[in-house]
């Protein structure tokens, strides 16, 4: 029987997708999402659609799903065609705001509602798993540097205390195991009272201690031992708790088959009455961004002003060679720019679309993970439109990366390509955000895909100069290891935001293998003790 999962702060479902993809020895899914909770309505749409997809056995997804993602039928038509599965999906994926939401939030849910829902979906099952990552923007190093903050204020930023909702569910419901994900910045974050990370570890080890013991509300959670998923314990203390250095909880995704340098804190908690020491994930060779995006259809960028045609776009690109724009640029880079311009052709698929029909799509890395031959195409693969001046910058930056094998700093830009922003000179002088325009290097792992990708494409420039554009949603999704048949709902800005905030499903899949082994050991122990 599949192990039930409660997934909170679920986003578009990256963590849950990895767990759901694990097949056990009986050729069945090892885990089943019993409930996922997400407050963002558009991410919730994505979550519900993927839940619908998983109502069917692998390979038995109905043709109507593929008709929907190709834009042939509406989502209402899809759900009407399969009402029972749609109802199950809509029950499983819950749009709700946890914690202490704004009084005007229509999706606000009380603690009692959450508790009732958890009890209902578990239906008496004792062995289950809690997963999720409390919203992490408050802890983000970049986020804090933008706000000039070192000390986090729980009164003014409610996100700081959102992990307490996770904690409350642990204290109230005592799952056998939990997996909690957060940004690396949590290791250095502080409130006025304490270091955030050490406090979180203390709280997670004994969730009940955080709540008053007052009769009917008394929590009797036994507590948890907190493990790293990638490092063996340095030692065990007198209470049997594993001991680590804080950095041991950081998973560097590029070391585990994910084509990006994404560093996240992921904690594995095993209930104290379960005497099992988990395995760890073992490293894999680094995967380049090129190995997962190069096979996708070539596109051109759009023009945000004036006529938006291939001829207008190409004429604009050629204009970089006129005048003194490239003064002081290395001759080798100028030569590469000239050569790449000569190689530009009108891409067959233009600027792309939500669905591009293409047969026999290939990928050199994990084809069994990414590809779905029933798609007969690519989803969410449309380029953005850019300002004329930015297109010249993208061409320069991608050729610079091609030659130098690194992205240029603002100090490497010729005067004619520097942005006209007031803080550009500051970026050059003190190196703050000096890599304002960042190309991904094709033969290396990508830089971290974050929700910032929804704002502009400057940090996510495609390595192919002949396309002169930022990454598409599908390219970002491939870097995040989402399968190609994973469709992201909502406008493109929201799609980017969903992808950037997610846990890479292939990393989650490897975590699921570790967690599944814990549950298998629990089953063996239960049989032995009986």
Q: Per-residue pLDDT tens for 70-104?
A: 999 999 999 999 999 999 999 999 999 987 767 77
Residue 360 has φ and ψ, to the nearest 5°, of 55, 40
**Cα distances (angstroms) measured from residue 131 to each of 31, 63, 68, 139, 299:** 12, 31, 29, 19, 37
DSSP-based helix, strand, coil % in the chain, nearest 5? 40, 15, 45
Listed in sequence order, the residues at least 6 apart from 37 whose beta carbon sits closer than 8 Å to its beta carbon are 7, 8, 9, 10, 94, 96, 98, 109, 114
pLDDT band at 467; cut points 50, 70, 90: very high
Q: Is the pLDDT of residue 155 over 90?
A: no
What pLDDT does 200 receive? 85
Task: Provide the token pair at 354.
Answer: 């939500």
pLDDT band at 159; cut points 50, 70, 90: low
Give the integer Cα–Cα distance in Å for 292 and 284.
Answer: 16
Mean pLDDT of 267-295: 97
Give the tens place of pLDDT for each residue, 358-387.
999 999 999 999 999 999 999 999 999 999
What pLDDT does 321 receive? 94
pLDDT band at 390; cut points 50, 70, 90: very high
Q: Is the pLDDT of residue 194 over 80?
A: no
Q: Is the pLDDT of residue 451 over 90?
A: no
Give the tens place of pLDDT for each residue, 301-322.
999 999 999 999 999 999 999 9
What pLDDT does 122 receive? 98
Report for 75-79, 142-146, 456-460: range of highest mean pLDDT: 75-79
Q: Is the pLDDT of residue 433 over 70?
A: no
Whole-prediction pTM: 0.93
CATH 3.30.300.30 correct for 3-287+504-529: no
What pLDDT does 197 receive? 85
User: CB of 265 within 8 A of CB of 201?
Assistant: no
**DSSP, res 519:** H
* Catalytic site residue from 95, 136, 468, 489: 136
Q: Is the pLDDT of residue 141 over 50?
A: no
Q: Are strands 129-132 and 263-271 parallel, antiparallel or unpaired?
A: unpaired
Query: Where along the chain do the CATH 3.40.50.150 domains lie?
Result: 3-287+504-529
Average pLDDT, the chain: 90
pLDDT band at 137; cut points 50, 70, 90: very low
**Is residue 136 annotated as part of the catalytic site, yes or no?**
yes
Listed in sequence order, the residues at least 6 apart from 88 whose beta carbon sits closer than 8 Å to its beta carbon are 51, 55
User: CB of 407 within 8 A of CB of 438?
Assistant: yes
């Amino acid at each position: 029987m599949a192990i039930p999962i409660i997934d909170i702060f679920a986003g578009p479902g990256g963590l849950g997708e990895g767990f759901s993809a694990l097949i056990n020895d009986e050729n069945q899914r090892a885990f089943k999402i019993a409930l996922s909770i997400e407050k963002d309505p558009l991410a919730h749409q994505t979550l519900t659609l993927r839940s619908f997809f998983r109502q069917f056995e692998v390979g038995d997804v109905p043709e109507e799903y593929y008709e929907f993602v190709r834009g042939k039928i509406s989502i209402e038509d899809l759900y009407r065609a399969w009402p029972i599965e749609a109802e199950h999906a809509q029950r499983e994926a819950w749009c709700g705001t946890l914690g202490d939401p704004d009084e005007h939030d229509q999706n606000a849910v009380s603690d009692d509602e959450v508790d009732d829902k958890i009890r209902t979906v578990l239906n008496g099952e004792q062995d289950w798993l809690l997963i999720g990552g409390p919203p992490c923007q408050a802890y983000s190093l970049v986020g804090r540097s933008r706000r000039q903050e070192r000390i986090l204020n729980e009164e003014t930023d409610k996100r700081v205390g959102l992990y307490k909702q996770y904690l409350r569910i642990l204290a109230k419901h005592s799952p056998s195991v939990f997996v909690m994900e957060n940004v690396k910045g949590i290791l250095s974050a502080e409130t006025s009272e304490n270091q955030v990370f050490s406090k979180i570890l203390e709280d997670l080890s004994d969730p009940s201690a955080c709540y008053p013991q007052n009769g009917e509300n008394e929590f009797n959670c036994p507590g948890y031992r907190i493990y790293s998923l990638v490092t063996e314990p340095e030692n065990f203390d007198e209470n049997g708790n594993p001991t680590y250095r804080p950095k041991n909880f950081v998973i560097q995704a590029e070391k585990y088959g994910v084509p990006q340098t994404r560093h996240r804190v992921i904690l594995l908690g095993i209930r104290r009455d379960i005497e099992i020491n988990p395995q760890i994930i073992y490293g894999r060779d680094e995967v380049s961004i090129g190995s997962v995006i190069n096979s996708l259809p070539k596109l051109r960028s759009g023009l945000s002003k004036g006529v938006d045609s291939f001829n207008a776009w190409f004429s604009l690109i050629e204009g970089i060679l006129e005048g003194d724009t490239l003064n002081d640029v290395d001759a080798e880079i100028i030569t590469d720019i000239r050569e790449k311009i000569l190689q530009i052709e009108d891409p067959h698929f233009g600027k792309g679309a939500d669905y591009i029909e293409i047969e026999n799509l290939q990928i050199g890395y994990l084809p069994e993970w990414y590809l779905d031959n029933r798609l007969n195409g690519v989803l969410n693969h449309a380029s953005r439109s850019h300002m004329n001046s930015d297109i010249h910058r993208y061409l320069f930056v991608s050729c610079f990366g091609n030659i130098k094998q690194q992205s240029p700093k603002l100090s490497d830009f010729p005067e004619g390509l520097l942005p006209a922003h007031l803080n550009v000179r500051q970026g050059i002088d003190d190196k703050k955000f000096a890599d304002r325009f960042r190309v991904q290097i094709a033969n290396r792992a990508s830089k971290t895909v974050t929700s910032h990708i929804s704002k502009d494409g400057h940090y996510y420039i495609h390595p192919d100069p002949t396309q002169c554009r930022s990454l598409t949603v599908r390219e970002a999704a491939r870097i995040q290891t989402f399968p190609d048949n994973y469709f992201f709902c909502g406008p493109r800005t929201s799609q980017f935001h969903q992808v950037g905030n997610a846990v890479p499903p292939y990393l989650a899949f490897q975590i699921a293998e570790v967690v599944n082994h814990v549950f298998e050991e629990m089953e063996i122990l239960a049989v032995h003790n009986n």
